[in-house]
Amino acid sequence: MALLVTLLLAMAAIVVRLTFLQVKDASAFEALAHNQRVRTIALPPSRGTIFDRNGDELAMSLPAKAVYADPHLVRDPAAEAPIVAQALGLDEAKVQAQLGGAGGFVYIAHGVDAKLAAKLEARKLRGIGFLDESRRYYPADSLAPQVLGFVGLDGTGLAGLELQYQSLLAGRAGRQVVEEDPTGILIPQAAGSDQPPVPGDDLLLTIDRDIQYRAQQALISAVKANHAKGGTVIVLNPHTGEILAMASYPWFDPNHFAQADPRAVTNRAVTDAYEPGSVNKVITASAALEEHILKLNTRLMVPDHYQLYTKTFHDAEPHPTERMTIGDIIAYSSNIGAIMTAHLLGTDRFASYLYRFGLAHRTGIDFPGESAGILPPVAQWSGTSMGTIPIGQGIAVTPLQMACVYATIANGGVWVQPRLVQGTVGPDGRIIESPAPEARRVISDQTAGEVARLLGYGVDVGTGVQAQIPGYWVAGKTGTARKVNAKGTGYSNNYVASFIGFTPASRPEFVVAAVIDEPATVFGGIAAAPLFRDVARFALARLRIPPAAPLAIPPHAVRIG
């Protein structure tokens, strides 16, 4: 009897326990079981492609694998870690820590080459899995790297256009819910829900791959020939604002960005400001002609030095007092002539043209880190500012800002916002063009034509003769500016040499800005003008631009001395 009672009590206890398990605690155990066999996997989207203006790929996504681990299924982390680490080129200790972790899912590596992943997958390591994804690839290696930027291991843009257009290029991640048995094998036909990823939009740039390549080759040759620290080249369509090429040396390979010198990653054409020197004289001349302070045939008595408060300014070479036209002042880059011209304008009128041409304002090119340059407010100008600023000292500009100044002259006096992106292409193939660039009139068409004549004269007989291209007329200006000391006080013995111009001079098709940093040859006419010539000559051939009629020489222009 006692045994029967014991059995009945035991059965009652079991029934009560089962009731608790199947009724009261059912939802908790169901959730536990679900978590043990069901896993949600993030599905990264395919990043959009970046094309040049002709549809050639500059940045693309290739098939790759993500390698992950489920530590619950890894029996011997110490044994598997060396195999995984060696195959993927990772730190063995870090991999072992991931394989032996307490979590249920951990990524070991992203963007693994598909063939490399296949070799590792063939080892059939317990707890190691593979997911389809993509990796960023730059087929032209070091072509326009500062413009394109690069993508991190997590697929996020970290620099350049990859960063600026991250939200468009990245797309939208999806997800996959799977069930697996205790050994990690997926359960066929198990309940699950998938949300496919949405690929990113493609970018169609204004860059011409061939012009970009030749510009970079010419730039590195010029830097080496002049024993320089570096340099920058921009090729710009003055009518549309489209940038055909933009390069800064030294550069890097975005396929291996982790090995790059941080200084080589910067797009100095947009982010770095420098004192422009004599290329700024084109603004002084434009303002004087627009305000009718001078005519093309007006002559000024120009000495070789000029005293302004505590500072004496000099021309590059001594000369007796000369009767100089504005054409002579620009062609032979007379500092004193430019300063005298600015004083005829007066401080306020002169300063207004600096702002109208875009100095001290970002161009709005839609690129990360663009600098506005440095132009002190007129109220902060010193007694010598009307001596330094007219000749391009005491202010700082980006190469792009100054290229836009010359593009304004080439475009009949209308400033056009520069741009790198023509439009985007969605996953459905629909092309969305970028908004029309901002444009504003700075000077009259007549004044722009007169200034172009001055610049053409400077290349014909002045400091820019080495920019000449057989069969074509070139208009442009040289610049040679001392660099500010790294400590921020005074000037060093290093220079920035530049030449900015356009061709054909009477019917401009593009502007080329050539800037050489710390050339041993110092002068813009020697270091930078040949770089302009080499880049422009190829662009003329590439774009199949025929010669145009020559510009008329400014009246009564005479050689100094």
Q: Catalytic site residues?
A: 278
Give the count of beta carbons closer than 10 Å to the beta carbon of residue 310: 8
CA nearest 334: which of 257, 378, 385, 281? 281
At 258, give phi and psi (nearest 5°).
Answer: -65, -20
Give the count of beta carbons closer than 10 Å to the beta carbon of residue 468: 16
Q: What's CA 440's distance to the chain center, in Å?
A: 24
Can you read off the two tokens belonging to residue 559? 């050689």
* DSSP element (H, E) containing 113: strand 106-113
Q: What's CA 491's distance to the chain center, in Å?
A: 29
Can you read off the two tokens belonging to residue 268? 């100095």
Distance, CA of 246 to CA of 461 (rounded, Å): 29
CB 345 within 8 A of CB 390: no
CB 250 within 8 A of CB 430: no
Cα separation values, 37 from 12, 32, 178, 423, Å:
33, 9, 8, 46
| Cα-trace Rg, the chain | 33
Give the count of beta carbons closer than 10 Å to the beta carbon of residue 153: 13
CB 477 within 8 A of CB 464: yes
As a whole number of angstroms, the longest Cα–Cα distance in the chain is 137
CB 357 within 8 A of CB 375: no
